[in-house]
Amino acid sequence: MPRSRPAIDSELAAALQVMPIGPNGVFDVTDIPATREAVRALAETIAATIPDEPTVTADEIHVPRADAPDVPVLLLRPQNAPGPLPVIVWFHGGGQVLGFAAQDAPWLKPLSAALGCAVAAVDYRLAPETPAPGAAEDGYTAYRWISDNATDLGLDPTRIGLAGQSGGGGIAAATALLIRDRGATTPLFQMLQYPMLDDRNTTDSSREIADIGIWDRATNLLAWQAILGDRAGTEDVTPYSAASRATDLAGLPPAFIGVGELDVFRDEDLDYAARLRAHGVPVELHLYPGAYHAFDLFAPQSQLAESFRHAWNSFLARHLTKAPATATAS
């Protein structure tokens, strides 16, 4: 007998009623170019309504590399915080097919000011133009460059963490795996907000969440097809393309994972958290009852969104102030 699905939280349900949900959901990935334009226009409209944070500067840096295009990075720095500054390397949401780094600047700037840290928002390449693992390679390139040039930038090379949202959370997780496997310095943390981790779409939640209208099963299948092409769901997928494919999770940085109970990514996120912990990685896990994908963005004033923001802000604040392991061993 099929299980009944939990009810959507009342505040989130009210927000859902006023969303522009078309026949293919809020994010129509059947027409990626048009949806990209719509996402950019919406982000610019929202940004125009939010007062700028004057104490935080924004500089676009183009990180060079020999074998691929430069990686654009939007570097946000608070002017009133004492240096050298810790750094959050940030990966925006958009299912790895939509979005751009500057879309998050309106709320990343106040975060930078509040935490006294720099934020390096990576404008990674999108699918299908750049299949996976191109985005994770961009993340690795940006992380290494920031680590190598931190001192010249007034940043602290011993306090750099990874963070991302949705598709960007998946890229942050894959970037952490690349960093480990290539022997680079371990990041302070990986803060993953409802991350997109598994191309196989075989979990219970990946089947259950089919009709909410935000990022449902059909949308997710199309996005993964764009990201991986014919490789999606086959054995020809590496962990750098879909982090859930990793069987060895030892040696990765401490993780924060937060996801809604009614998110298509719920079960893959819970599984990843459990396997990280089984491999000795510290994990802070939050499951939000009655919450759909990206609930904090669509219902930012809701109690659940407030709780989520408090949780990940606290995680970041605690980890950004930590001394590196090498410094505490003496």
User: From the candidates 156, 198, 263, 267, which is the catalytic residue?
Assistant: 263
Cα dihedral 3/292/218/284 (nearest 10): -90
Question: Catalytic: 263?
Answer: yes
User: From the candidates 147, 166, 205, 244, which is the catalytic residue?
Assistant: 166
Rounded Cα distance, 27 and 319, in Å: 33
Amino acid occupying residue 151: T
Do 162 and 176 contact (CB within 8 A), yes or no?
Answer: yes
Q: Whose structure tokens read 């349900």? A: 13
DSSP string, 1-47: -PPPPPPPPHHHHHHHHTS--BTTBSS-TTSHHHHHHHHHHHHHHHH
User: From the candidates 293, 296, 302, 319, which is the catalytic residue?
Assistant: 293
Amino acid occupying residue 126: L
Rounded Cα distance, 200 and 187, in Å: 28
Task: Produce one character per residue of 200-234: b if its CB has 16 or more CB atoms within 10 Å, e if not.
Answer: bbebebbebbeebbbbbbebbbbbbbbbbeebbbe
Q: Whose structure tokens read 């960007």? A: 168
Q: Are strands 71-78 and 255-262 parallel, antiparallel or unpaired?
A: unpaired
Question: Catalytic: 293?
Answer: yes
Q: Three-state DSSP class for 193?
A: strand
Question: Catalytic: 166?
Answer: yes
What token pair was written down for 262?
Answer: 């009614």
Q: Are strands 85-91 and 155-165 parallel, antiparallel or unpaired?
A: parallel
Please give the positions annotated as active site: 166, 263, 293
